[in-house]
Amino acid sequence: MSAKNRKEKKDQAETFSKKVERFTKTEIECLIKRFNALLAKQVSPSGAAHGLDRETFRGIMQTTFGINKPLMLDGVFRNFDEDRDGIVSVEEWIRGLSVLLRGTLDEKIKYCYEVYDLDGDKFITKEEIFNMLDGCFIKRPNEKDPKERVRDLVETSMKMMDHDCDGKLSYKDFQKSVRKEKLLLEAFGKCLPDPMSIEKFERLVFQEQQGQ
């Protein structure tokens, strides 16, 4: 890397460090380096010059953080892609990872809610919950339709979390439910990395890259 490129990277890290509290400037430099390495490997030319496209991003979330369900992957991409331009820029990458890796409970509640709000209308409906939970049950012997168990789970979830009883989950409903029972944070599907995945990613990106 040339002296000019090193300076540009440091200046960029300095700028981002003023916007993102969860990482040190050195860690942000490592995240920028990782982002550029992923960008260089990107197959699709659609966002190659500016950011990670949907396919590349989904692959990262699957292989690195174990988020596999298509609806969850779409929701995570939508959450990272703040300007809705179809790619994840380096700043969006850093801001999104700050929540995934080191976010507060309130930040993670907001993140999960936005992932689960499939159509972005600020409510989670029974239909959205059904779509997210569909396929989570394996058909039992002599069972006609495992979807009935999904429907039962949808009704149970709604009764438990719909505090204002309007037949859909507002952000306040979801927030109140998770604060009361943290296990409900990922009630409708895995969209956050587990501690082991976080530790592995941080070791790879922060410790090993700083040692290079």
Domain boundaries, the chain: 3-103+193-210, 105-186
Q: Is it true that 3-103+193-210 and 105-186 share their CATH fold?
A: yes
pLDDT at 99: 97
Higher pLDDT, 39 or 76: 76
Instruction: Specify the CATH class of 105-186 in words.
Output: mainly alpha
- Most confident by average pLDDT, 1-10, 100-109, 136-145: 100-109
pLDDT band at 56, cuts 50/70/90?
A: very high
Considering the domain 3-103+193-210 in this protein, what is its CATH number?
1.10.238.10
- Contacts of residues 81-90 at CB distance under 8 Å and 24 or more positions apart, as own/partner, are 85/51, 86/46, 86/47, 86/53, 86/54, 87/46, 87/47, 87/50, 87/51, 87/52, 87/53, 87/54, 88/51, 88/52, 88/57, 89/50, 89/51, 90/12, 90/32, 90/35, 90/36, 90/51
